Structure formats: structure tokens, C-alpha cells
Amino acid sequence: MSAPVFIAGIGAVSAIGNNVAEHVAAFERSEAGMGAMSLLNSVHSGQLPVAEVKLSNPQLAQQLGLKAAVSRTAMLSMLAAKEALDSAAIPGLNKLRTGFISANTVGGMDRTELFFESFLADPSRGRLKDVIHHECGAVTELAADFLGVKDYISTISTACSSSANSIFFGARLIRNNILDVVIAGGTDALTKFTLNGFNTLMILDQEFCKPFDENRRGLNLGEGAGYVVLVSELVATMLESAPVCTLSGYCNANDAYHQTASSPDGTGSFLAMEGALQRANLTPADISYINLHGTGTQNNDIAEGTAIKRLFDPLYPHMSSTKSFTGHTLGASGGLEAVFSVLAIRERTIFPNLRLQTPMQDLPFVPETMLIKNASVNHVLSNSFGFGGNCSSLIFSKT
């Protein structure tokens, strides 16, 4: 059996909190982060709710100690990754082989949009400095420099499974004795390009999303960042506080069914979950809680639900979609939901699936609608399924 990879620290920023503690409080209050656009300048303002981080770019820069704002995607990454690394409190970190594996899908597009807004109005205007960090990799490099990580830096962009893939890639680097410590997860900021693209696909809800509800009408876009600090067994023994869990299982599968839609029978979803269970040497009955991908679209929820029915029937664990709190944060979603999975184990809590009123008729199970505390949470399955059929599942297990 492969050597275990431990979770030593977590960090998160989203529409429901600027740090992990604020997320825990929001879950306990069942307080979602969606609302009218206040920071994003869009023609859809007032029509489409979004889940914005409650910090402006100048506020983010000030909190991070930056002289000037860089791309919002990078600053969200810096904020959450620093919290994760600080919470890990790894002694002698500068002597360990440390990597930063980060995911995103929009890169520094928010700055690019600012440039073109000025440039199109007057070709003599527009700051070219705003476009130099446009690509996804530049966001990772900015955050890595901020953290002081130099040994190994990589960017993953596989749509909505991006940061789940970055996490298990980090685990593989540790298991193959390439690195000792990996900060892994993802980040994404809201942009006009992304909002317009999803609106063109006609999968955005004009009200707050209702994942796994029979009358669901689509998703709400969100933004944020989530990171976990993965460490080897040797590093885990050096920590002042014992890690609460390991990353015990992971798997990526691709059914290549459609560019933007999941296969109706959830083939990729099923293969990802089944593969993660096999790697963790667990059975479906061992899973305490599933953090659903649960976007709230017609196609996604029935595909994921069908795969869960195929794998878990007739005994279903607790499950819920935390996107009912944070919106769909795209490249950040797997990282944020990895943090929530660790919190479920640490806090012994099952998070609710907000606004679920009418269960889906074609599924024999219903996600939890109320917060459950003092639960027995030993193994959490976290699903992240992306465009192009790129499906990933992670399993976190109590130590």
C-alpha cells in the first residue's frame, strides 16, 4: 500500500468567508453568499446573482501587503494559500522540498478586461501592464513568489475539476519522493467573459441556485480560492498538532461525451468515484459524506445522481452540495470543497444543501437540507466534474 499523504493545513476565501473560521460560521448559520453584483461591472447586473468575495481589489492588496493590486485571481490565491501554509505551521519549511500546484481557468482576465475597456474607448489609453499576467500560469507564479515557493511550481487547468486534479497531482509528487510538502488547490475570479459564456450556454439561474432540486434551473457563478497543504508521513511526525486526515483516494476519468455536458448515465462520474474508492481500499459503505459536485444544472445533477445510484444503491451516505453556499467557483471549486471535506471531518459536521424543496423524482436519495452536528465522519468523498467529461473524485479519511 502507498505511503499516506497527510493534510497539514487548509485555507479558503469565498463569498461566505475570507478565512476558514468565517466559512465554518457561515455553514452553521446556513448563510449563502449569493447576491446582486457589486464588484463585477456587467450588463447582467441586477439580472443574474453571483457569489462575490466581499473584498475589493484594493482591499485584497492591502490585506496582502501588496503595493498595488495584481490580478484578482492571483490575490485570492495568495490569501487562501497563505492561510493554509500558516495553519500548517511546518517547522524547518525552508529545508524541505516544497511545491505549489495551483489551478485556475480565467487567469488574469479580470485585468485584461480593464485594459480593453479603456483601450476600446480610446486606443491611446489602456495600461499594457494589465495584460502581462493574462495566462493561467502567470497567476500561479505570482502566488508562488508571494509564498516564497521555488522548488516546484505547476498550473493545472481542466475546467471545473482543475483544483481537485492539482491536489492529487501534489499527492503523487509526495508519494514518489519528489517533494515533501505541496500547497495544492485552486483559484478563480469572476470575469465578464466567464459570465457571458455561461449565460450563452443558458445554464445560469436568475434566482439563487437549487442543486438537486426537481425544479432546478441552473447555477450561480462564484469566485474564491481553496488550498490544502499536503505533507509526507515524515513531515507529519514533525508537526506540533497531528493532522486530522489523509488524502486516501483519488481518481480522474474522462468519458469524452460532450464539450460542455456530462454523459446522461454519468459514466465519467461513476469511474472517478469507483477509482477513488479502489485507491483508498474502501467500499461505498465506508463513505460517511459526499460533497457533491452539484452545480444545479439539469444535466449535471441527474448525471451525478445516476452515477451515485449505480455505485451506492441501496445504502446512501449523507450528501450535499456546498455550491448552494458559494456558487460554482469553477477552477477553485475542487480546492474549496477539499477544504470543506477536511472541515466535515474536523468539525464532525454534515453541511446542508440549501434551498432544496422538491427532491428529484428520478433519484432514490435526497441530500441533507439541515446542518448535522456531532456526526460520525470518517471518510468524505468530494466530487469535481468538469467540461469535456473531465471527472475527478477525492477521498479524505480521518486519521
The DSSP code sequence of 251-277 is EEEE----SS---TT-HHHHHHHHHHH
Q: What are the beta bridge partners of residue 373?
A: 349
Q: Which of 160, 209, 251, 391 is catalytic?
A: 160
Angle of the 72-88 helix axis to the 136-147 helix axis, nearest 10: 40
Q: Which of 23, 133, 293, 379 is catalytic?
A: 293
Q: Which of 133, 318, 328, 379 is catalytic?
A: 328
Is 136 a known active-site residue? no
Cell 460554482 sits at which residue?
328
| CB count in 10 Å sphere of residue 55 | 18
Q: Is 25 in a helix, a strand, or coil?
A: helix
Is 391 a known active-site residue? no
- Hey, which bits of the chain come out as E strands? 6-13, 98-103, 152-156, 181-188, 224-231, 245-254, 289-291, 318-320, 349-350, 372-373, 379-385, 390-398
Half-sphere exposure of 371 (CA within 13 A, CB side): 15
Residues 48, 206 contacting (CB under 8 angstroms): yes
Cell 445560469 sits at which residue?
204
Is 328 a known active-site residue? yes
Burial 112-122 (b: 16+ CB within 10 A, else e): bbbbeeebeee
Q: Give the catalytic positions in this structure.
A: 160, 293, 328
